[in-house]
A = this chain, B = another copy of it.
Amino acid sequence: MTYCVGMRLDRGLVFMSDTRTNAGVDNISTFRKMHTWEVQGDRTIVLMSAGNLATTQAVVSLLEERSKAPGDRNPSILEAPSMFQIAREVAATLREVIGEHAEGGMRADSAFNATLILGGQVKGSAPRLFLIYPEGNFIEAGADTPFFQIGETKYGRPILVRAFDPKMSFEAAVKLLMVSFDSTIKANLSVGLPLDLQLYEADSFKLGLSRRVAPDDAYYQTISNGWGEALKLAFDSLPDIVL
C-alpha cells in the first residue's frame, strides 16, 4: 500500500508521500512515489502515485519520454497550456497503461490500477490540485475539499479533517502531514519511512523545498514522540463521564 497527501493552501501546494511498496507482507521495497517536473518561470508539476508500481512507473516513464520528444503525437506536459490540459494528458497516459495490460488478456482484479495526485501551476492561472482515477477521469480540489489523500487514507484522516486550514503556514502544514503520516505508520505495516516532502510556493514557478524524511530525522522523531504525549494530555483534558 501507500500513503500520499496533497494540500492546496493559500500560500501554495504541499505534497508528502511514503516510499514503501509491498507485494504481500514479505516482499517489501522502497520506491520513490513522488515525481516532479519544472520549467523555471513557466511551470511546476508534482505527481504522486498509489497502486500498482509497474503501472505508475510506466506512466512516469511515458510522460518523461514524451516531454523529450517534441514530435510525439501526445502533447508534452511541459508544453500543455494549462494544469487542466496536463491533468488530461496524465490521465490519458494512466488509462493507456492500464488498458494495455487489460487488453493483453491479463487479469489481476484491480491489481494493474493506480490512482494519482497531480498538482502544480502553469503561468497564467493559479496553482491547481487534481485527483486522477484509474478510469482516466479526475476531480479538482476546491475550497470545500482542499486536500486529497490516496492509498491507506483512513488512519491519518481524522487529524486532517480537524486541523487542516487553507490559511496555515507551510511549517504548520508540514507538521500536520507528519502527524497524519505518523498515525498511519504506527497502525499499518504497508506504509513506511522514509517520506518525501515537496513544497511549492504559489506564483514562484519553481520547485520549493524538497526533503527526504528518514527514520532518524530529528523533527520526525520530535513529532512522533511528542504527538503521543500531546494526545494523552488532550485526552486527559476532556471530562470523564459520570457513570
Contact = CB atoms under 8 A, between A and B. Distances in A.
A209 to B, nearest CB: 6
Nearest to A213: B241
B169 A240 contact: yes
Contacts of A199: 243
Contacts of A223: 238
B240 A159 contact: no
Given A157-B187, A187-B154, A222 B243 contact: no
Given A171-B243, A174-B243, A243-B209, A159 B238 contact: no
A4 to B, nearest CB: 16
A208 to B, nearest CB: 9
Contact of A238 (B187, B230, B238): B230
Given A234-B227, A238-B175, A243-B199, A186 B161 contact: yes
A214 interface: no
A214 to B, nearest CB: 14
Contacts of A237: 226, 230, 233
A18 to B, nearest CB: 16
Contact of A235 (B161, B163, B171): B163
Nearest to A187: B157
Contact of A172 (B186, B233, B240): B240
B232 A162 contact: yes
A81 interface: no
A183 interface: yes
Interface in A189-243: 199, 209, 219, 222-223, 226-228, 230-235, 237-243
9 contacts: A154-B187, A155-B157, A162-B228, A163-B232, A163-B235, A169-B240, A171-B243, A230-B235, A233-B234
Given A154-B188, A230-B235, 4 more contacts: A155-B157, A158-B184, A175-B241, A179-B238
